[in-house]
Structure 1
Amino acid sequence: MDEIVKAAMLKWPNVPNCYGWLALDARGDWYLRDAPTQAAGPFPQIKGSLIEHEKFKAFIHRNYLADERGAWFFQNGPQRVYLQLELAPLVLGVRRLSDSEPDPHGNGFEVQAHTGQDVGAVQSCWLDEHGRLYLLTEAGLGVVRSMDMATAADAVAEGVWGEPQEIAFAEMPARFGFVREPAPV
């Protein structure tokens, strides 16, 4: 978390949390959802405004966390902005490493979150009824980006992450401890 964010939290400790104004889609893109957008319909049917400003996205990435309920938020200064998740808290990119690159996990593949974070070792892989591939990593559960599915399929075929286990999409939040649409408690 940024030092400026920590300082703001100390200066203004009682700022109310914000819900419904930020969302993460299946590609790892962030969307702002103002009041008219929220009134127009649920996420992801009505997405909102794509956040394209690179420095703002980097700020969100550095301050993206989960609370004790498994509800993910962006700590924006003193305010927690809880977000809606289209699929999972992390969106994962998968890349085959070249022979000359360091291979910290010894399997020939790199898995990285949409935040740029190395997610550590993959502990298991899961397939939902829609054919989407999820990886349970040291950093949490993430869905593999559609653009990286060919590379991920190679890793699955090579047995890098074990045999994919089937799971219904609706069961994932409870199974892996995250909240897709947080609400005030």
Structure 2
Amino acid sequence: MDPIVEAALKKWPNVPHCYGWLALDARGDWYMRDERIQHAGPFPDVKGSRINHDKLRAFIERNYASDEAGCWFFQNGPQRVYVELEATPWIWRLQPDGRVLSHTGATAAVQSSWLDEAGRLYLLADLGLGLVHTADMGPAADAVEQGRWTPQEFRSDELPQRFGFVRRPSP
């Protein structure tokens, strides 16, 4: 967490949490969802405004964490902004050198792999469960064929409970 965020938390410890204003899609993109967008429909049916500003994305990603209930949030100074997840808390990007990086740029150590009924590949890593980015399914298939990963089958509706995360946090 950024030092400026930690200082703000100490200075203003009782700022109310924020829900519904930030979302993470299945490709690792962040979306702002103002009141108008929230009233227009649920995420991901109505996504909102994609955050393209590099420094804002980096700030969100440095201050991205989860609470004890498995709700993911961005600590924005003294305010905790809960994140709606289209799929999982992490989106994995496979690198040519074999490394697995999260959508935040953090390196992940893969522990197991999972395949859902739609053929989507998930990796359980030291950081938690994440979905493999659609653009990386070629290298992911290579990893499975080479025996690096042996996916276990499961139903996608079991994900949150099985792996301890909440897709749509609420007060």
Query: What is the CA–CA distance in structure 2 between the aligned matches of 1:153 and 1:96, rounded to whole Å?
Result: 13
Count of residue correspondences:
171
Q: How many percent identity over aligned positions? A: 63
Query: What is the CA–CA distance in structure 1 between the aligned matches of 2:142 and 2:48, rounded to whole Å?
Result: 34
Query: What is the CA–CA distance in structure 1 between the aligned matches of 2:111 and 2:142, rounded to whole Å?
Result: 17
Residue identity opposite 2:161 in structure 1: A
Q: 2:159 aligns with which of 134, 158, 172?
A: 172
Residue identity opposite 1:27 in structure 2: R
Partner of 1:2: 2
Q: Deviations over 1:42-81 (max 9, x none)?
A: 1001000000000000000100000000100000000000
Residue identity opposite 1:178 in structure 2: F
> Which runs of structure 1 show a deviation greater than 4 angstroms over 4 or more consecutive aligned residues?
none
Query: What is the CA–CA distance in structure 1 between the aligned matches of 2:15 and 2:99, rounded to whole Å?
Result: 39
Structure 1 residue matching 2:93: 3-state secondary structure: strand
CA RMSD of aligned residues (A): 0.6
Q: Give the unaligned 5+ runs of structure 1.
A: 98-108
Query: What is the CA–CA distance in structure 2 between the aligned matches of 1:111 and 1:82, rounded to whole Å?
Result: 25
Query: What is the CA–CA distance in structure 1 between the aligned matches of 2:147 and 2:167, rounded to whole Å?
Result: 30
Q: 1:117 aligns with which of 102, 106, 115?
A: 106
Query: What is the CA–CA distance in structure 2 between the aligned matches of 1:64 and 1:95, rounded to whole Å?
Result: 22
Residue identity opposite 1:64 in structure 2: Y
Partner of 2:16: 16
Query: What is the CA–CA distance in structure 2 between the aligned matches of 1:96 and 1:58, rounded to whole Å?
Result: 23
TM-score (norm: length of structure 2)? 0.99
Residue identity opposite 2:62 in structure 1: R
Q: 2:129 aligns with which of 134, 141, 144?
A: 141
Structure 1 residue matching 2:95: 3-state secondary structure: strand
Query: What is the CA–CA distance in structure 2 between the aligned matches of 1:50 and 1:3, rounded to whole Å?
Result: 26
Structure 1 residue matching 2:107: 3-state secondary structure: coil
Query: 1:165: how far off?
Result: 0.7
Residue identity opposite 1:111 in structure 2: V
Query: 1:96: how far off?
Result: 2.9
Structure 2 residue matching 1:143: 3-state secondary structure: strand
Structure 2 residue matching 1:13: 3-state secondary structure: coil
Query: 1:88: how far off?
Result: 0.2
Partner of 1:102: none
Structure 1 residue matching 2:55: 3-state secondary structure: helix
Partner of 1:87: 87
Map of 1:32-111 to 2, 5 A cutoff? 32-97=32-97, 109-111=98-100
TM-score (norm: length of structure 1)? 0.91
Query: What is the CA–CA distance in structure 1 between the aligned matches of 2:165 and 2:147, rounded to whole Å?
Result: 27
